[in-house]
Chain A
Amino acid sequence: MDIYLPIANLSVNALVIILLGFGVGLLSGMFGVGGGFLTTPLLIVYGIPPTVAAASAASQVTGASVSGVLAHFRRGGVDVHMGLVLVAGGVIGAVAGAGVFRLLQQSGQIDTVIAVLYVLLLGSIGGLMLTEALGAIRRLRTGEPPRAGKRRHHPLVAALPLRWRFYASGLYISPLAPLILGMAVGMLTVLLGVGGGFVLVPAMIYLLGMATSVVVGTSLFQILFVTAAATLTHALTTKAVDIVLAALLLVGSVVGAQVGARFAARAKPEYLRLALAVMVLLVAVRMLLGITWRPDEIYTIELS
């Protein structure tokens, strides 16, 4: 079933795009990652121009997050207070990121910067998550009691002034910490065209020390608003949001997100984290090969 995309200027197989959306939606419901880090590269591999892919994937992440956020809200899994601080930071970061994006685009180095950032971020976070998840699973197998259930946040976070109480997260920390985290993630959203969940979730667990029950829901909450802002920014600046492509992705991903959320409620969290870690590392390796192996295309064309 071929459908013409009016902004991307090419026709695609609608079923392939819907299935792609479904797969990504499944992951977003299960892990609380937006899935943009998979959608954007996959769309580019399929032949969609990179700017259109990044701009349209952002709106797909918005849709997948809505159903995810609603599902988590009903289970009381969203810390709205914390989420709003993160969103505020995210919007500031997105605006700053747009400026950096333009500079890099003019010098022609945006592709390289994106790829290197992907490798560094996904590689380090994936590695961190893998060791953590493997440790948790080993303790689970040997029946050893889990580490004393005392959550701790990073000493740097504890050093920040102005403490607020975040009840749902079970934290008494400075709002500057989530604000800065939100800014960093907002910047990534614009630069990499991703929701930033794969950075946000581990940072919330390991840096802020949030209660794990609200981590996924709150990260989806932040992703929802920041990707919506990113879609608007793209519509105004690059004009590369393809609403037909977004709709096709959405059809698949919102269904996938529901299935994923149900699956997550039943699966063991240690194994979910292991699966996410492996997937993140695979994408990192793929990106690393992409910049170190001789690329298929030495030349690239860009309208000027």
Chain B
Amino acid sequence: MRRGALLLAAPLLLGAAKPVLVPDVSQREIEIAYSFTGARLLLFGAILYPRGRTPGEEARTDVVVVVKGPAQSIMVREKEKIAGIWINAERTRYRSAPSFYAIASSRPIERIVDERTRAIYELGLSSLQLSPASGAVAAEQARFDRGLVDLKRRSGLYYEDPGAVEITDDVLYRAAVTIPARVPVGRFTAETFLIQDGRVLAAATREITIRKSGFERFVARSAERASFAYGLAAVALSVAFGWAAGAVARRL
């Protein structure tokens, strides 16, 4: 009888041996309106340890948060000096590079996990899976990868923010991720990882939708779906502005 009870309880006990993540984000939807200059996304949550016991000093846990934008198919070109002028020479296509990538962690990511784990979970800018489409030599590919990441990093679309995740009393965590105004619209994912001793103990994903709203949405849709009318509207607008200014100036 006692044995049977133990067997029944075993899976429960095993499951409870791992901590559980309860993540959330401050906004599930970000609307782009006329005054949009970017958004500050707050990612927060709790770490539930089995039987409420926090691991203490000897087994420190870390939290890593990754926000990714929709994947894009892109072409990267490299300039080279030929006959005195800089022109586009080599090029590489990437089938699906993230349009936005931000990683926030409670410590520098290199000190939390080893290279292999970083590559598996795509943690850090040097471990991104960029899926190149052309079969270039490894060295050349790496050069393009670095160029792409560097360009994206300087425009604020890729970044690493070690130390941005704050953990309070080993239970609550929070991190702020800044999303610049020039991100594309679409479905973003916010992944949270709980890591201990270089192993990912728990992971959870939340989705965030970024879309244009109101007038901005109307304009973007019209340009896409009613191109001719949109073009005519643009021409009419310019002519009207020009004519109005002329009419006003004559009165002065």
A residues within 8 Å of B by Cβ?
Answer: 2-4, 6-7, 9-11, 59-60, 62-68, 70-71, 74, 108-109, 111-112, 115-116, 228, 231-232, 234-236, 239, 241, 243-244, 246-247, 250-251, 254-255, 257-258, 262, 291-295, 297-304
Which residues on the B side are within 8 Å of A250 (C-beta)? Answer: 237-238, 241-242
Top 7 A-B pairs ranked by shortest CB distance? A66-B242, A235-B231, A254-B245, A63-B238, A299-B147, A258-B249, A62-B238
A302–B91 CA distance with the chains assembled, in angstroms: 11
Smallest Cβ-Cβ distance to A232: which chain B residue: B231
6 further A-B contacts with Cβ under 8 Å, apart from A9-B183, A67-B243, are A3-B34, A7-B223, A108-B91, A241-B223, A262-B249, A297-B151
**Is B76's CB within 8 Å of the partner chain A?**
yes
B87 close to chain A: CB less than 8 A: yes
Q: Give the docked Cα–Cα distance between A116 and B220 (Å).
A: 33
Are A109 and B35 in contact, with the CB atoms below 8 A? no
Interface residues as binary, B224-248 with A (CB distance below 8 Å gives 1, 0 otherwise): 1001101111110111011111101
Contacts of A295 in B (CB 8 A): 79, 86
Report whether A7 and B246 are in contact in the complex, using a CB–CB cutoff of 8 Å: no
When the two chains form their complex, are residues B32 and A67 in contact, meaning their CB atoms are under 8 A apart?
A: no
Check B73–A304 contact: CB distance below 8 A.
yes
Q: Tell which of A62, A68, A257 touches B239, judged by Cβ atoms closer than 8 Å.
A: A62
Do A10 and B181 touch across chains, with their CB atoms under 8 A apart?
Answer: yes
Asked if A299 and B246 sit within 8 Å, CB to CB, the answer is no
Q: Which residue of A lies closest to B183 (CB)?
A: A9
Closest to A296 in B: B154
Q: Does B140 contact A (CB under 8 A)?
A: no
Q: Which of B185, B219, B232, B239 has the most chain A CB within a 10 Å cutoff?
A: B239
The number of inter-chain residue pairs (CB within 8 angstroms) is 187
Task: Determine whether the beta carbon of B32 is less than 8 Å from that of A241.
Answer: no
24 A-B contacts (beta carbon < 8 Å): A4-B34, A4-B36, A6-B223, A11-B181, A59-B234, A60-B238, A67-B243, A70-B243, A112-B88, A231-B231, A231-B235, A231-B238, A243-B223, A258-B248, A258-B249, A291-B86, A291-B87, A294-B86, A297-B79, A299-B77, A301-B151, A301-B152, A302-B74, A302-B77
| Interface pair A246/B234, CB less than 8 Å apart | yes
CB distance from B124 to the nearest CB of A (A): 20
CA distance A249 to B244 in the complex (A): 15
The 8 Å CB contact of A4, one of B35, B148, B231, B248, is B35
Docked CA distance A193–B78 (Å): 24
Question: Is the Cβ of A6 less than 8 Å from the Cβ of B220?
Answer: yes
CB of A11 to closest CB in B, whole Å: 4
Interface status of B37 (Cβ within 8 A of chain A): yes
Q: List B residues 140-177 near A (Cβ within 8 Å).
A: 144, 147-148, 150-152
**Using Cβ atoms and an 8 Å threshold, which residues of chain B touch A251?**
241
Which residues from chain B contact A74 at a C-beta distance below 8 Å? 250
Bound complex: CA A2 to CA B223 (Å): 22
> Who on chain B is nearest to A304 by CB?
B75
Determine the main DSSP class of A at the interface with B. helix
Which B residues contact A (CB, under 8 angstroms)? 32-38, 72-79, 81, 84-88, 91, 93, 144, 147-148, 150-152, 181-185, 212, 215-217, 219-220, 223-224, 227-228, 230-235, 237-239, 241-246, 248-250
CA distance A10 to B84 in the complex (A): 34
Tell me the complex Cα distance, A260–B190, Å. Answer: 53
Task: Determine whether the beta carbon of B148 is less than 8 Å from that of A292.
Answer: no
Contacts of B184 in A (CB 8 A): 9
Indicate which residue in B75, B87, B148, B245 contacts A258 across the interface (CB closer than 8 Å): B245
B239 contacts which chain A residues (CB < 8 A)?
A: 62-63, 66, 228
Q: Is the CB of A241 within 8 A of B219?
A: no
**B242 adjacent to A246 (CB under 8 Å):** no
- Residues of A within 8 Å of B249, CB to CB, are 67, 71, 258, 262
Q: Is the CB of B223 within 8 A of A235?
A: yes
A62 neighbours in B (Cβ, 8 Å):
235, 238-239, 242
Partner of B87, one of A11, A109, A231: A109
Cα-based distance from A74 to B250 in the complex (angstroms): 10
Closest-CB distance, B224 to chain A (whole angstroms): 6
Q: Among A6, A234, A244, A300, which residue has its beta carbon within 8 angstroms of that of B88? A: A300
- Establish whether residues B231 and A236, one from each chain, have CB atoms under 8 Å apart when the complex forms: yes
Residues in A whose Cβ lies below 8 Å from that of B84 = 292
In Å, the complex CA distance between A251 and B35 comes to 19
